[in-house]
Structure 1
Amino acid sequence: MHGTMNKITTQHLIGGRWQAGEGPNTITIFDPATGRPVTDMVESSLDQADAAIEAAAAAFPAWSALSITRRADIVLQMKVLVDRNVDELAHLLSLDNGKTLTEARAEVGRAAEAIAGAAGAPGIYHSQCGNIAPNLDARRVRIPLGVCVAITPFNFPVMNPSMFAAWSIVCGNTLVLKPSEQTPMITNMLFDLFRQAGVPDGVLNIVHGGVALGERLVSHPKVAAVSCITSSPVAKAIYANGTAHGKRVQANGGGKNPFVVLADADLDKAAEGIADAAFGMSGQRCLAASRCIVVGDVYDRFLDKLAAKSREYVLGGGRHPGVTMGPVVSAGSKARVIAAIENSVRSGATLVLDGRAHSVVGGEDAAGGYFVGPTIVTGLSSKDPVDCQEVFGPFLVVHKVASFDDAIAMANDTEFGNAAAIYTSNGSSARAFEMACRAGNIGVNTFPAPPMNFQMGGIGASFYGDIHVLGDGYMLFYTDHKVVVSRW
């Protein structure tokens, strides 16, 4: 595997063949743990993007003609190979993205779970029949769309491509993927495993590049549907571009997720859960806690517990023994988090924890890494831009409010609606929060990540489209249907 990967980690998969990029720009891939360059990759040209779509279109008739059980068999083999290569996938994921090995293995596990769900598609890809009148039958038949495009982010470069690849092709479509240009190596390894699983040439294609490449894919006349996970401004732009060109689009954006702590909560569990939600995976999750709202007189006690738990993180390279928090993905990401810290201080906020001062293990190797430790800020207005805009890093603002109603009002005072959570021992309060909070994913005494068999929510600027990802959303998004009425 290592020898093969050395040849393809910086290439593009078009029509079953790995090939070098022909685009105008060269992308340098850095190890986030050291800041050192790992390799260079020439991006795909627009002609290569067109070629990938043409290859997918050419592969579609034969692939869609296979029975869904045969397609599901191949998808199941994709899962087998992911399971078999967990350690190698996790290692390359850590190098590409910066995650700790524990976090990387967890992501690979979630990817395998998503692929397994797609392998079960024959159970829900059924027609509906009925004797609607004497000698008159009706049935609904699901049909694939054609060529699909997926645009995926850097923060889950195994799980997100696995979700879109497995579900799009099991439904009979073909796919062109544009992953984040910051984490191309791990996605190439993943797609090479999928080819080994028996996916025919042209069914899965991968091209690497920036905005111009994405715009070309989204607007191409032979593309039927576009899925993306990205920031909200980019999601909005992709949705507008795709729908203007007649595509079916699901565009998942960012969030500014509130986690509420009531006075009756178990404060130790709340502190542990919110620290993990804010600083796990270095805060680079669309469901991460970025605002914490504490109700009543437990504020000081909770803040002490939260700060103590957050200080326990061991910051360093993800492959270093004992490390529990890795770097952010890039120098730009680090600069964005530091800017949020500096802007908060200028606005009069108090730094309970300053991530710039967190010690880093690894010595000289880590000196150039993109490290920012857990940062906790208090005394910031909820109207401050720092508390309204997504930072996407280990940065948490903690607020104190007087009542449950005040907490709901503050939680909902945002354009986003990705996730929210409440910590309480009162079922009535939890129920009221579920109903009143405008977020698509709700956690009660836990992190609000939905299981793979549930559609992922998203409200407001966190989602543009009609059909969400995960669960039966994939089947609805990646197929159309026809109704056949027959008399014999």
Structure 2
Amino acid sequence: MKILQNYINGQWVDSNSTETANVVNPATQEVLARVPYGSETRKDIDLAVNAAQQAYLEWKNVPVLKRIQPLFKLKQLLEENRDEISRLITLECGKTLAESNGEIQRAIENVEVACGTPMLMQSEFLENVATGIDEFMIRQPLGVTACIAPFNFPAMISFWFLPYAIATGNAMIVKPSEKVPLTMMKIFELLSQLDLPKGVINMVHGGKASVDGLLEHPLVKSISFVGSTPVARYIYATGTANGKRVQAQGGAKNPVVILPDADIEMTSQIITDSVYGCAGQRCLAASVVITVEDNGKIKESLYEAAKARSVGYGLNAGIDMGPVISPESKSRIEHLVDKGVAEGANVLLDGRNKKISGFEQGNFISPTILENISLSGELIKTEIFGPVMSLLHMKTVDEAIAFINSGVYGNMACLFTNSGSNARKFRNEVMAGNVGINIGIAAPMAQFPFSGWKDSFFGDLHGQGKHAIEFFTQTKIVVERWPKEWARKF
């Protein structure tokens, strides 16, 4: 079985670790590869960081207009290899080919925005802050930066960070999730074709040992992370304690509010796509659906839309939803459904213990709907991260907003309505970093930061757009005076 290599200093190299973990197709349980996974991966981190530091010292002085040139070729390479990358995402992550293709598109869009770094990196100048004295601010790169990526988007998440980091003059180390490393292996094959100095981009496999190596290494200046809230909190606390700049995206419990004037057919289809897309394994998946006032028709429509979704192997045609990532995830999700039932919820649609013909060993859960879950129970506070819709009923939009704002998460909140005044009230008052109006997944385009509030984000500057430019640069203020008599001496 193939053991995956690291990419360090422009070369594919074996890991120092002899311990490995299986990379498994979640639909078939086929072992696709073996990935380094042990304490010795910290030695790999040291090698990558030292190579990145040397490369940074050269790369930071390359004019920004030249630094972005490789990104134009990268965009082309990603487009030319879209089908192969999409297939790899589906093989190791489980999502459908259409979902994988959409993920690649989002990655490409971030490369496009990063190509605008010569404009985005510009700063301020003020002449005569005092007589004969000028003051200005410039942006300079941090140094060695690192991305710790999650399993649910094997390609896209790293591109919230990587193109911006190198365009602004940094070196970057990517640590892909050990569950889905094959996609990033292919992407680094493409990155190796770019005209970049050796060491500017590096990839190291591993688990917690690799993560801790990055968090504790004195030459690593920033950490970018996306994952669960407990791990995000650990990343943020450990990284900042070691003097690093950290952006750590955490979990979510995304609410969607449906007002009586919403278009039922459109709303039910959009919400169903939001809840069950990628088998619910995305940080912007709708989780809690709140109907306001009369809910009979919308409940029936949501039930029929969820029931109609086709579940199966993501490489097959006509499939709407694939498996969850692992047997452990499947067991955890089904346990949480059991917990909700024990707390008094009604199972409107039950997707537990489902078997897909020809893929009986796969980690499949069909669309599930729980109605009237307890507001004081555990499930209402827990990120399920699976294809489960929790359906609640409330009397007013004010009650719904108050309920949303009482939660610990603040990643996304959406409203479906035809009322402009209610939409304005919602977007103004709801405490969430990404807000959707008649949108089921309020995913920011690459030009905008991927926001997040409360326990959904730890840090100050988010991924994507101008926030990424600011995160990967540090400001320097220059105050200068050139008296005429000094000028005559030279």
TM-score higher than 0.5:
yes
Is the Cα–Cα contact under 8 Å of residues 148 and 175 in structure 2 kept in the other structure? yes
Tell me which amino acid in the other structure corresponds to 2:375: S
Offset at residue 134 of structure 1 (A): 4.9
Task: For 2:453 and 2:160, locate their aligned partners in 1 and report how far apart those are by CA, in whole Å.
Answer: 21
Q: Which residue of 1 aligns with 2:13?
A: 19
**Counterpart in 2 of 1:347?**
343
Higher deviation after alignment, 340-349 or 219-228: 340-349
Partner of 2:138 in structure 1? Answer: 141
In structure 2, the partner of 1:3 is: none
Residues 320-399 of structure 1 correspond to what in structure 2 (within 5 A)? 320-356=316-352, 360=356, 363-364=357-358, 366-399=359-392
Give yes or no for contact 1:453–1:471 (8 Å, CA) kept in 2. yes
1:71-86 aligned at under 5 Å gives the runs: 71-86=67-82
* 2:297 alignment partner in structure 1: 301
**1:220-266 deviation digits (Å, cap 9, x = unpaired):** 11111111001001000110001111111111101001000011111
Alignment of 1:154-169 (within 5 A): 154-169=151-166
Equivalent residue of 1:81, what SS? helix
Q: Does residue 47 of structure 1 match 2:40?
A: no
2:373/2:380 contact within 8 Å kept: yes
Deviation at 1:348, TM superposition (A): 2.3
What whole-Å deviation, never above 9, does each CA across 1:350-405 have from its counterpart, x for those lacking one?
Answer: 11111126563xx32x1111111111100211222111110111111000111111
Alignment-derived partner of residue 241 in structure 1: 238
Corresponding residue for 1:424?
417
Paired amino acid for 1:275? T
1:4-153 to structure 2, matched below 5 A, reads 10-43=4-37, 45-132=41-128, 133-153=130-150
CA shift digits 1:416-450 (9 cap, x unpaired):
00000000110111111111111000000012111
Letter in 1 for 2:90: S
For the residue of structure 1 that corresponds to 2:370, the secondary structure is: strand
Consecutive unaligned residues in structure 1, runs of 5 or more: 1-5
Sequence identity, in percent? Answer: 38
1:21·1:41 contact (CA, 8 Å) conserved in 2? no
SS of the aligned residue for 1:112 comes to helix
1:314 lines up with 2:310 in the alignment: yes
CA offsets 1:113-141 (integer angstroms, 9 cap, x no match): 01111111111212422322554322211
2:455 alignment partner in structure 1: 461
Report what 2:436 is aligned to: 443
Query: What secondary structure sits across from 1:287 in the alignment?
Result: coil
1:162, distance to aligned residue in structure 2 (A): 2.1
Corresponding letter in the other structure for 1:348: G
Q: By percentage of residues, which structure has more helix? A: 1
Question: TM-score, normalization: structure 1?
Answer: 0.95
TM-score between both structures, scaled by the size of structure 2: 0.95
Cα distance in 2 for partners of 1:422, 1:188 equals: 39
Asked if structure 2 preserves the Cα contact closer than 8 Å seen for 1:126 and 1:141, the reply is yes
Contact 1:91 1:319 in 2 (8 A): yes
How many angstroms apart in 2 are the aligned matches of 1:190 and 1:382?
44
Counterpart residue number, 1:224: 221
**Deviation of 1:295 (Å):** 0.6
- Structure 1 residue matching 2:272: 3-state secondary structure: helix
Name structure 2 gaps, 5 residues minimum: 483-490
Helix, strand or coil at the partner of 1:38: strand
* Contact 1:278–1:290 (8 Å) recurs in 2: yes
Deviations 1:272-299 (A, max 9, x none): 11111100111011011010111111x1
For residue 170 of structure 2, the aligned residue among 161, 168, 173 is: 173
Q: CA RMSD in A?
A: 1.5
Maintained 8 Å contact 1:174/1:202? yes
- Secondary structure in 2 matching 1:292: strand
Q: Is the 8 A contact 2:257 2:291 kept in 1?
A: yes
**Match of 2:16, SS?**
coil
Note if contact 2:114-2:465 (Cα within 8 Å) is conserved in structure 1. Answer: no
Cα distance in 2 for partners of 1:405, 1:66 equals 54
2:35–2:178 Cα contact (<8 Å) kept: no
> Is this contact kept in 1: 2:151–2:177, CA < 8 A?
yes
CA distance in structure 1 between the aligned counterparts of 2:411 and 2:350, rounded to whole angstroms: 26
| Residues in 1 aligned to 2:123 and 2:423: alpha-carbon distance in whole angstroms | 39
Query: 1:316 aligns to what SS in structure 2?
Result: coil
> 1:278 and 1:94 mapped to 2: Cα distance?
19
Corresponding letter in the other structure for 1:244? A
Aligned to 1:472: 466
